[in-house]
């Protein structure tokens, strides 16, 4: 009984369908593959996507949700498309000219299209990550860079997909690539300045030498950065005029950013009169150092206060220190407070500030004891001098003409 049933089924599966050049077995096998691919898509794929979706909802990041959204539709299409190709492939394609070759070509073309499509859809993940990075700054270049990168990646993936598609069809894409190369070269030569500004913008984006609101100085401009664009940067000068500097130029120049300082420098000289004695000079230096050390707005980890120069009308004291603030207004207040304190305490100590003066001495005989203190100092220094030839009184000057001295 079972043998006759098996024989009957074999005869049925190997019998041809009326008016169609395929057997019932081939037709039912093809239909079974279609039903299997439908079940695979309906239950297995959807169940997998559902489980991954629930896991993605438990995470804090949105990247996994975006990745799941990227593969959701292409995965469904992949199962259906290759299920259809598999269902067609088991049919007797050898009866048709180039039937098997066509199926294999469709298989490869479908793989290229689906991969390209998935790559294009994945760009949204890249743009999402870029937006998260650029949201940390308020520069216009960051806002414009995201859609620009989006378009560049789309064009790149489409070109790669077209080249692979042409290769699968049997065409040589080298001619197309050569044409694109020549066209790109011509475009680069024609848009040299634009490309220079573009790459300059990329350099400003990656290096971030300044931000909006920073006080910077370049070769042709000094002021506050108002806007960082994709082609140029706008700088508001101190006279309130607005200057646009190309980003290509900024990328190739030295940029001085005053806002990146952690302190501001106070540097000036105080001139005291020549009537100031050495003791008074030491007092002036001690007063200034004490004022710097006690001031809350001045860093006392490094400062310099030194008597450093004999000027025409004054004895110069150099003052070099740094404030704890970088705000210009606060810096000016601290510098003013230091200067006022120096004036007050110098006046209290009897130390006079110098100003350009000229003292006229009336001719008179030199006092006989004017060199007494100098002789005592020389004795202390142990100087061995020939008093008859080298050292003479000021009332008996050397005759410079006698030994060939003088001008010349």
Q: By the 8 A CB rule, do 24 and 15 touch?
A: yes
Element (H, E) at 302: strand 298-310
- 116-120, 166-170, 289-293, 375-379, range with the lowest pLDDT: 375-379
What architecture is the 264-348 domain classified under in CATH?
2-Layer Sandwich (3.30)
Most confident of 139-143, 243-247, 282-286: 282-286
> Helix, strand, coil proportions of the chain in percent (round to 5)?
55, 15, 30
Q: Where are the domains of the chain?
A: 12-121, 193-260, 264-348
| Cβ partners under 8 Å of residue 98, min gap 6 | none
pTM of this structure: 0.50
| Fold agreement (193-260, 264-348) | no
pLDDT at position 310: 93
Phi, psi at residue 267, to the nearest 5°? -145, 115
For 347-374, how does the pLDDT look when each residue is reduced to its tens digit (9 = 90+)? 999 999 888 766 666 666 656 665 676 6
pLDDT at position 140: 53
CATH of domain 193-260: 2.30.30.60
∠ CA 283-288-290 to the nearest 5 degrees?
A: 95
DSSP label of 94: G
CB atoms within 10 A of CB 389: 8
Token match 């990041």: residue? 61
Query: Which candidate, 85, 135, 130, places its Cα nearest to that of 106?
Result: 85
- 36-45, 274-283, 387-396, range with the lowest pLDDT: 387-396
pLDDT at position 403: 47
Mean pLDDT for 193-208 is 73
């Amino acid at each position: 009984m079972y043998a006759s049933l098996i024989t009957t089924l074999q005869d049925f599966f190997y019998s041809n369908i009326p008016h169609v050049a395929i057997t019932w077995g081939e037709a039912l096998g093809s239909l079974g593959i279609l039903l299997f691919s439908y079940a695979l898509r309906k239950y297995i794929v959807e169940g997998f996507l559902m489980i991954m979706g629930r896991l993605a909802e438990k995470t804090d990041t949105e990247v996994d949700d975006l990745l799941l959204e990227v593969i959701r539709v292409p995965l469904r299409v992949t199962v259906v498309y290759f299920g259809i190709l598999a269902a067609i492939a088991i049919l007797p394609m050898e009866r048709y000219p180039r039937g098997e070759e066509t199926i294999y070509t469709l298989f490869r073309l479908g793989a290229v299209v689906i991969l390209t499509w998935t790559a294009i859809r994945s760009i949204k993940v890249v743009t999402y990550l870029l937006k998260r990075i650029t949201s940390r700054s308020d520069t216009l270049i960051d806002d414009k860079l995201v859609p620009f990168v989006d378009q560049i990646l789309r064009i790149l993936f489409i070109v790669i997909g077209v080249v692979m598609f042409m290769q699968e069809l049997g065409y040589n894409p080298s001619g197309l690539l050569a044409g694109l190369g020549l066209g790109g070269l011509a475009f680069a030569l024609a848009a040299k300045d634009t490309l220079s500004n573009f790459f300059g913008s990329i350099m400003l984006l990656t290096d971030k030498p300044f931000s909006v609101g920073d006080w910077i100085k370049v070769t042709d401009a000094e002021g506050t950065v108002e806007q960082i664009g994709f082609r140029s940067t706008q700088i508001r000068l101190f006279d309130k005029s607005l200057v646009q500097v190309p980003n290509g130029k900024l990328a190739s120049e030295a940029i001085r950013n005053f806002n990146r300082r952690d302190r501001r420098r106070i540097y000036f000289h105080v001139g005291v009169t020549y009537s100031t004695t050495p003791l008074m000079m030491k007092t002036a230096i001690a007063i200034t150092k004490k004022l710097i050390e006690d001031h809350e707005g001045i860093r006392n980890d490094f400062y310099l206060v030194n008597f450093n120069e004999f000027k025409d009308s004054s004895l110069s004291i150099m003052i070099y220190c740094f404030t704890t603030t970088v705000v210009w207004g606060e810096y000016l207040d601290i510098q003013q407070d230091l200067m006022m304190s120096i004036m007050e305490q110098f006046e209290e100590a009897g130390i006079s500030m110098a100003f350009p003066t000229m003292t006229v001495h009336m001719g008179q005989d030199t006092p006989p004891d004017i060199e007494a203190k100098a002789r005592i100092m020389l004795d202390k220094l142990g100087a061995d001098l020939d008093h008859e030839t080298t050292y003479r009184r000021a009332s008996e000057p050397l005759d410079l003409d006698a030994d060939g001295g003088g001008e010349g």
